[in-house]
Amino acid sequence: MTGIDFFDVDHTLTRRSSGARFVAAAMRRSVLPLRLLIVLPWYSLTYRLGVFHPHAYERAFPYLRGLARTTLAHIARESFDRALKGDLFPEAVELVRSLRAGGRRVMLATSSLDIIVEPLAEFLHVDGVLATTLEFEDGTCTGRLAGMPMFRREKKERVLSFIAGEGVPARECSFYSDSIFDLPLLEAVGTPVAVNPDFRLRRIAHRRGWQIREMSAARPASRTPGGHC
């Protein structure tokens, strides 16, 4: 069976955070408070420095409590169409396109919320998404997660569990990521690829002889990869 190629999202496929784009769209609709502008740069900085902790997710989610899934889905679509689509690295879109044209399965494996990256997954025509999941009751967000954040070892375990269920050996799979936080999964697959890696991951990738890909500044993606599906 053909292997699977997994991609992180933020700073791997896109130059900016999908979560930050979502929050900006939500604030434009007055769904989220403007005071989030104070804490977002801190989250971004700690993530890039490799000192981010997943509990930060849980502190942010109470702002979503009581919002309908349909409302969040509309905001996610708006944030993708107005901003995140233009953040895509053109080389990354072409890479996904070429892998799928070659018969490989491609999936997103991201710590971002599934509802945020669903429009991106649709645009790229990927085969599936493994992501952090919000909890809903009767179509309304509880402000909690359904399970653990898709982060560090949790991401590794969920991806390995998925490919085991598909009967695919990990050695036949690849994972593309920019972040030292994804080291456990990078170490677990047959082909780890560091994409625009942070300084810690770059050092490890050089030492271990892993492939390093540098994506240039994003331009608005002009067409979808659908022609090769």
Domain holding 222: CATH number?
A: 3.40.50.1000
Query: Please, are residues 60 and 22 in contact by the beta-carbon 8 Å criterion?
Result: no
Number of domains in the chain: 1
Long-range contacts of the stretch 38-47 (C-beta < 8 A, 24+) = 43/19, 44/17, 44/20, 47/179, 47/181
The pLDDT assigned to 26 comes to 87
pLDDT in tens, 6-40: 999 999 999 988 988 988 888 888 886 555 544 44
Residue that the structure tokens 């879109």 belong to? 93
Query: Taking the chain (229 residues) in consecutive chunks of 10 residues, what is each chunk's mean pLDDT?
Result: 91 92 86 56 47 51 86 95 95 96 96 94 97 93 86 94 96 96 97 96 97 77 39
Residues near 63 by beta carbon (within 8 Å), at least 6 away in sequence: 32, 33, 36, 143
- Print the domain residue range for 92: 4-228
The pLDDT assigned to 29 comes to 84
Model's pTM, two decimal places?
A: 0.85
* H/E run at residue 105: strand 105-113
Report strand pairing: 140-145 vs 134-137: antiparallel
